[in-house]
Chains A and B, each alone.
Chain A
Amino acid sequence: MRAIVDQWPVLLREGVAGYLKGFLSPTLVEVLVTAAVIALLLTFSAVTVMILVWLERKIIGRIQDRYGPNRAGRYGSLQLIADTIKLLSKEDIVPAAGDRWVFYLAPIVVVLPALLIYAVIPFGRGMILTDLNVGILYVLAISSLTTVGILMAGWASNNKYSLLGAMRAAAQIVSYEIPMVLSIIGVVLIAGSLSTVAIVDAQERVPFVVLQPLGFLLFFVAAIAEANRTPFDLVEAESEIVAGYHTEYSGMRFALFFLAEYMNTFAIAALGATLFLGGWQWGILPPYVWFFLKSYALVFVLLWIRGTLPRLRVDQLMGLAWKVMIPLALANVFATAAGISLWQRLFGA
Chain B
Amino acid sequence: MEVAPESPTLESKTDRVTVNLGPQHPSTHGVFRLVLTLEGETVVDADAVVGYLHRGTEKLAEEGTYQQNVAYTDRLDYLSGMLNNFAYTLAVEKVDGMQIPERAEYLRVIAGEMSRIASHMVFVGTFAADLGTYFTPLMYTFREREAILDLLEMLCGARLTFSYYRVGGVAADAPPGWVDRCKALMERLPAKIDEYEALLTENEIVLARTKGVGILEPGTAVSYGVTGPTLRASGVRYDVRRAKPYSIYPTLDFEIPTATTGDCFDRYMVRVREMRQSVRIVQQALERMPKGDFAIALPRNYRVRPGAAYASVESSRGELGFYIVSDGRIAPYRCFIRAPSFINLGVLRQMTVGWKVADAVAILGSLDIVMGEVDR
Contacts and interface: CB of A to CB of B under 8 A. Distances in A.
Contacts of A237: 132
B1 interface: no
Contact of A239 (B17, B36, B139, B361): B361
Given A311-B131, A312-B208, A238 B203 contact: no
Interface stretch (A63-71, A73-81, A128-136, A272-280): A63-71
Contacts of B130: 239
B205 interface: yes
B136 A63 contact: yes
Contact of A308 (B21, B199, B209): B199
Interface in A294-316: 306-316
Contacts of B133: 308-311
B134 A306 contact: yes
Contacts of A242: 19, 357
A64 B208 contact: no
B36 A310 contact: no
Contacts of A309: 132-133, 203, 205
Interface residues of B, number: 31
Given A230-B134, A231-B132, A310 B205 contact: yes
Nearest to B138: A64
B361 A241 contact: yes
Interface in A231-245: 231, 233-234, 237-242
B205 A65 contact: no
B222 to A, nearest CB: 30
B140 interface: yes
Given A63-B136, A242-B19, A310 B206 contact: yes
Nearest to A308: B136
B34 to A, nearest CB: 9
A239 B126 CA distance: 11
A147 B203 CA distance: 31
Nearest to A160: B17
A240 B361 contact: yes
B357 A307 contact: no
B129 interface: yes
A314 B41 contact: yes
A175 to B, nearest CB: 16
Nearest to B27: A239
B26 interface: yes
Contacts of A240: 357-358, 361
A19 B136 CA distance: 56
Given A231-B205, A310-B128, A315-B41, A241 B139 contact: no
A161 interface: yes
Contacts of B136: 60, 63-64, 307-308
A238 B17 CA distance: 20
A250 to B, nearest CB: 17
Contacts of A311: 131-133, 205, 209
Interface of B: 17, 19, 21, 26-27, 36, 41, 128-136, 139-140, 143, 199, 203, 205-206, 208-209, 356-361
Given A311-B131, A314-B358, 19 more contacts: A65-B143, A161-B19, A230-B134, A231-B132, A234-B358, A239-B26, A239-B132, A239-B361, A241-B19, A241-B357, A307-B134, A308-B199, A309-B133, A309-B203, A309-B205, A310-B132, A310-B209, A312-B205, A315-B356
